[in-house]
């Protein structure tokens, strides 16, 4: 591979991490004007149209779904699209984008934990250390630097919603790994996005989507298109291009930049405060995720 080709792939992966960090900013900008289910439905309506186009372009048709693959696909749509985004947008109505990003950065940690329990993967010292560091970092962020608050006040509603996103994404990742080996990543994501969008539609209607859609501001529509195109389609395509070119381990390291970009963007665009607790939590979580992935066996 030429140095120029390497540079392009690394640039795409860095942009991918920035795009994914920007989804927290876009979600926060939508809060208050677009309801959670409506935001999720519109995001994935946009993404699904583009993903279907890319699938048709790549395969010439939509690959057939075997009878045994329908249930896993529905579970993917229900967990990774429906539940994840409902929790995501609801949480961003209540807490800052930077804090939400640091909590969600624990996704790889919990995926690794449950992969160890379910698939009997090895858990070495570096992984254990990474898990401890990452969870400690999340606690620092949640409690604003005062861990004893967990015992006195518990976890706030917004943080609980964001942890719901984490649980949903862990389910999505493990179901996809176990049950969709017959699909390419593009096809699996396309079908799960379409199914998730269909599942979201009635809930969006109950929230008043059809009555309110004409009142959305330009900022809200820009945020929705950003989420659909940059945060979903481009982020996904470039991530898997990176995996194909340089391998999953090296490509996966760029996910560490997601909470960093989210925090920096939240400070710059949303004027959110960069507190010491957020900064230290970010460092612990990023370090923990790095250790967990860097020394994967």
Helix H segments across 60-184? Answer: 70-76, 84-92, 97-104, 107-119, 125-142, 149-153, 157-179
Each residue's pLDDT tens digit, 1-50: 466 777 888 899 889 989 999 999 999 999 989 999 999 999 999 999 99
Question: Measured between alpha carbons, how far is 162 from 160 in angstroms, rounded to an integer?
Answer: 5
Q: Which of 26, 7, 6 is nearest to 245 (CA)?
A: 6
Strand runs labelled E in the chain: none
Break the chain into its structural domains and give their ranges: 3-294
pLDDT of residue 45: 97
Question: Measured between alpha carbons, how far is 15 from 9 in angstroms, rounded to an integer?
Answer: 10
Beta carbons of 192 and 73 less than 8 angstroms apart: yes
Query: What's this model's pTM, rounded to 2 decimal places?
Result: 0.86
Each residue's pLDDT tens digit, 106-118: 887 887 788 777 7
Question: Measured between alpha carbons, how far is 293 from 253 in angstroms, rounded to an integer?
Answer: 7
Beta carbons of 230 and 50 less than 8 angstroms apart: no
Cβ within 8 Å of residue 6, ≥6 positions away: 246
Beta carbons of 63 and 187 less than 8 angstroms apart: yes
């Amino acid at each position: 591979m030429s140095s120029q080709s390497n540079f392009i792939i690394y640039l795409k992966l860095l942009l991918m991490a920035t795009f994914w960090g920007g989804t927290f900013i876009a979600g926060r900008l939508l809060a208050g004007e677009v309801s959670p289910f409506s935001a999720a439905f519109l995001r994935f309506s946009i993404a699904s149209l583009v993903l279907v186009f890319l699938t048709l372009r790549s395969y010439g048709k939509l690959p057939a779904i075997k009878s045994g693959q329908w249930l896993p696909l529905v579970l993917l749509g229900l967990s990774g699209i429906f539940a994840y985004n409902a929790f995501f947008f609801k949480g961003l109505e209540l807490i800052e984008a930077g804090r939400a990003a640091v909590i969600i950065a624990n996704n790889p940690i919990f995926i690794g934990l449950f992969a160890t329990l379910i698939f009997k993967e090895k858990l070495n010292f570096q992984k254990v250390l990474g898990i401890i560091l990452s969870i400690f970092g999340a606690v620092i962020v949640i409690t604003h630097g005062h861990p004893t608050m967990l015992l006195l006040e518990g976890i706030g509603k917004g943080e609980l919603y964001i942890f719901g996103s984490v649980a949903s994404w862990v389910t999505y990742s493990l179901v996809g790994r176990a049950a969709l080996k017959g699909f390419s990543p593009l096809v699996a994501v396309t079908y799960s996005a379409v199914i998730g969008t269909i599942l979201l539609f009635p809930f969006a209607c109950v929230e008043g989507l059809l009555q309110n859609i004409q009142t959305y501001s330009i900022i809200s529509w820009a945020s929705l298109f950003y989420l659909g195109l940059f945060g979903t389609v481009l982020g996904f395509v470039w991530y898997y291009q990176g995996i194909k070119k340089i391998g999953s381990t090296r490509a996966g390291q760029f996910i560490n930049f997601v909470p960093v970009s989210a925090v920096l963007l939240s400070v710059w665009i949303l004027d959110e405060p960069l507190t010491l607790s957020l900064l230290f939590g970010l460092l612990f979580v990023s370090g923990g995720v790095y250790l967990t992935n860097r020394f994967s066996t």
